Amino acid sequence: MKKILLLSIVATTLLTRCGNKAQENATTEQASVAAIDTTLLFFGDTITQDLAVPVTELAAKMKGKDSLKIKVTGVIEEVCQKKGCWMNIAIDNNQSMRVRFKDYGFFMPKDAAGKTVIIEGLAFNDTTSVETLKHFAADAGKSKDEIKKITEPEINIGFEANGVIIKK
């Protein structure tokens, strides 16, 4: 009888402790979920917002260089409407930078135009062929007449992003 009583006390103690531990774990998980910043969307490699340079300063930083590893922030002008496989970011009033994604490994939400973005990767001097410009125009949903007007290649800054943060 003493053995049964002792066994019963040990079993009750273990069950009580396990229940408390499970409750502690649930509370810890809830706290970590609450700590996630829901105002940011992350794509590709994990990057931070630290040390991001305004995209308006990129041309000056590129001066005399063919390419530059950098983190920049700007506003998305346009996103590929077929599947989000590229985006344009305004550099200044009349120039944009086409951003593609490393190894075609991730895509942007098609409704991200107008949102602030932080991108990290490789900026480079780029010549975009007429054929590629027409392809991008078709992806962006431009009309056939608008596409026919593309007759010259563009020389501009391109960007291959390995990580992206979009501020909601």
pLDDT digits (tens, 9 = 90+) for 47-78: 999 999 999 999 999 999 999 999 999 999 99
Question: What pLDDT, on the 0 to 100 scale, is given for residue 72?
Answer: 98
Q: What is the pTM of this model?
A: 0.69
Residue-level pLDDT at 168: 86
- Residue 157 near residue 91, CB atoms below 8 Å: yes
Count of structural domains, the chain: 2
The residue ranges of the chain whose pLDDT is under 50 are 1-2, 5-7, 10-34
Tell me the C-alpha distance between 45 and 86, whole Å: 16
pLDDT averaged over every residue in the chain: 83
Same-domain status, 79 and 111: yes
Q: Are residues 84 and 145 located together in one domain of the fold? A: yes
Q: What is the pLDDT of residue 88?
A: 95
Residue 114's pLDDT is what? 96
Say if residue 1 is in the same domain as residue 65.
Answer: no
Q: Are residues 10 and 89 in the same domain?
A: no
Q: Which amino acid is at 17?
A: R
| pLDDT at 123 (0 to 100) | 97
Domain that holds residue 45: 40-167
Q: List Cβ neighbours of 95 (8 Å cut-off, separation of 6 or more).
A: 156, 157
Amino acid identity of residue 33, one-letter, is V
Q: Are residues 112 and 85 in the same domain?
A: yes
Per-residue pLDDT at 22? 44
Per-residue model confidence (pLDDT) at position 95? 85
Q: How confident is the model at residue 36, as a pLDDT?
A: 58
> 3-state SS of 32-89?
HHHHCCCCEEEEECCCCCCCCEEHHHHHHHHCCCCEEEEEEEEEEEEECCCCCCEEEE
Residue 115 has phi, psi (to 5 degrees) of -90, 150
Contact, 97 vs 55, CB < 8 A? yes
Q: Which residue has the tokens 């346009």?
A: 78
Tell me, yes or no, whether 117 and 91 share the same domain: yes
